[in-house]
Amino acid sequence: MRKLNVAATSRYGRLAGGAAVLAAGSVLAKIIGAFYRIPLTNILGAEGMGMYQLVFPVYALFITLSTAGIPTALSRIVAEHRARGENAKKYLAAALFTLLSLSALAGILMTALSRIIAGWQGNPEAAGGFLAVAPAVFFVGIVAGLRGWFQGEMYMLPTALAGIIEQTVKLGVGVGLAVALAPRGAAVEGALIGVTASEFAAALYLAVTYRVRSRKRGETRASVRLDAEERKAMFRTAVPIALLGLILPLGAFADSMVVVNALKWGGESTSSATAMYGLYSGPVTSLVNLPVVVVMSLAIAVVPSLSVSRSERDVESIMQKSRMSLKLVYLIGVPCALFFAVFCREMLAVMYPALSDEELATASRLLLIASLGVPPTAASQIYVSLLQALDKTYSAIKSMLFAIIVKLILSLALIPSIGVTGAATAGVVMSVCSLFTLAFAFHRLTGLRIEKNVAKTMLAGVIMALTALVVRQYVPVPLGALIAGAVVCASVYGWLVSLMGVFTEAEVLSLPFGSRLAAIRRKIRFWEKGYDG
């Protein structure tokens, strides 16, 4: 029996452990978010959701502008200083001072430009939503800074709990105010006030958590003053991250302006175009983003962890963590995409009963197309984080910028002729372009290849999807089909992944409940003798 590489398992374990905490919190937050979206969609309707979704890309863009890459830079700097046994608290103080200043300015600008932006988007009535959500930008600055600090310390629990608090408050306050203000025609504004309340609650929780933790450690206040070399280091780290962080929000902002206007160019009325955009960016995108959110938890965890390995020049650890991260991405993304594709209509019918038959048919078609983009979108997020951690952010910027330009051109070409499905198609093409360019950049840097593992994962997913089609054929009730399909798909996919040996013994042991999973793996791969790690 070969000995298991304990050091490798430990390296995997810390990364997977932090990612597991974030993933669990993200999944729970996303479930709460789904409960929020379901009644909200039923209250606002397709057109109301369209107005709600017109506001969010702008909100995301102003958040990105106000945070300017500082949280991710902070997590990297803190992780590297901690690894060397140095105190990095003054970086937090300086980061928070900068973030609060930028966030206040961004909130004021968003308020001042609300009418102009709403006009650009093709629906001037959306202006009230910007006013309702603008104060949230300030609180996001606090949340972002403290999350960056905790992540740099590899303490992921506060980030996970903050996400759950955000979604819970948004559910209670947002839906409550949407119902209360619906008779006055201000349901959308009520829902967006809930977003502001949720960010305030998350900021308060993180501030209290930081204060309590600092007192327990006996830490003193830090100066916000950094010397010239320290400012230069933070600036050098933050600028490329800020540029990269701007690309996706700018793409979403462009989408919010292009989709509605392009649909109107194709002959749709403002009301109909807004409703179609609401279907695409609301129910469909929220479902497609569920596995991507889980992957983002892994991406957040991998940046400080890999930065430490880079600072220690530990090439073996870099390769192991990168390989494990990419394997986990496809493990999650492939089955989710195929499950969405098979059960698209059933999922939407169960979650959004207020949709009309025509809206349900349109949303199902959109989800079928958009689901194909889940694996490449998820993998792209990890490649971006890996390149960031290895200080190759500009490579990621070039790749993402190219993909966004491709999407914009395709959207303008397709939407006026084939309708809102053109937007979904352009989104999938963008994710594929970003994946190939990012993977090429990372392979050129590290030489890492995982094509065989990806092929095994995709084969397992296809077989799983074929069994899901059988379940859908014989279980006609939507809810029953979803439950039966989930159980069958999870069982079949898990068995196939173990059978094909997608993960080594060391990698399996590093996962949550690793010893149990490893025991199951040994039973399935009964012909192996001993460990293969």
pLDDT tens readout for residues 417-447: 999 999 999 999 999 999 999 999 888 888 8
Question: What are the tokens at 245?
Answer: 């962080």
Hey, how many other C-beta atoms are within 10 angstroms of the C-beta on 71? 25
Check residues 371 and 328 and name the one with the higher pLDDT.
Answer: 371
Which residues are CB-contacts of 178 (< 8 A; sequence separation ≥ 6)?
40, 43, 44, 187, 188, 190, 191, 194
Query: Helices (H), strands (E): how many in the chain?
Result: 21, 0
d(CA 386, CA 412): 32
Residue 45: Cβ-neighbour burial (10 angstroms; 0-12, 13-18, 19+): middle
Taking each helix axis from N to C end, the angle separating 70-83 and 89-112, rounded to the nearest 10 degrees, works out to 180
Give residue-wise pLDDT tens across range 107-130. 999 999 989 988 888 888 888 888
When the pLDDT of each residue in the chain is averaged and rounded to a whole number, the result is: 82
Of all residues in the chain, what percent carry a pLDDT higher than 90? 30
Tell me the C-alpha distance between 363 and 420, whole Å: 10
For the beta carbon of residue 353, count every other beta carbon within 10 angstroms: 12
- The tokens for 358 are 């025509």
String of DSSP letters for 290-329: HHHHHHHHHHHHHHHHHHHHHHTT-HHHHHHHHHHHHHHH
Q: Is the dihedral of CA 431, 436, 437, 439 positive or negative?
A: positive
In angstroms, the CA 492 to CA 501 distance is 14
The number of C-alpha atoms within 13 Å of 249 and in the hemisphere containing its C-beta is 20
**pLDDT score, position 301:** 56
State residue 352's pLDDT score. Answer: 84
More confident residue, 235 or 57: 57
**If DSSP codes are grouped into helix, strand and coil, which group holds residue 63?**
helix
Locate tokens 């593992």: which residue? 453
Among 320, 342, 340, residue whose Cα is nearest residue 332: 340
Q: pLDDT of 12-41, one tens digit each?
A: 444 445 556 665 666 677 677 767 777 888
Residue 300: pLDDT above 60? no
Q: What is the pLDDT of residue 218?
A: 64
Give the model's pLDDT for residue 41: 81
pLDDT at 29: 75
Residue bearing tokens 């990269």: 244
Residue 299 pLDDT level (bands cut at 50, 70, 90): low
Please answer whether residues 368 and 407 qualify as being in contact, where contact means their C-beta atoms are separated by less than 8 angstroms: no
- Tell me what pLDDT residue 302 has: 57
Those residues whose C-beta lies under 8 Å from the C-beta of residue 477, and which sit 6 or more positions away, are none
Confirm if 365 and 280 have CB atoms less than 8 A apart.
no
| Tens-digit pLDDT profile for residues 493-512 | 999 999 998 888 877 877 76
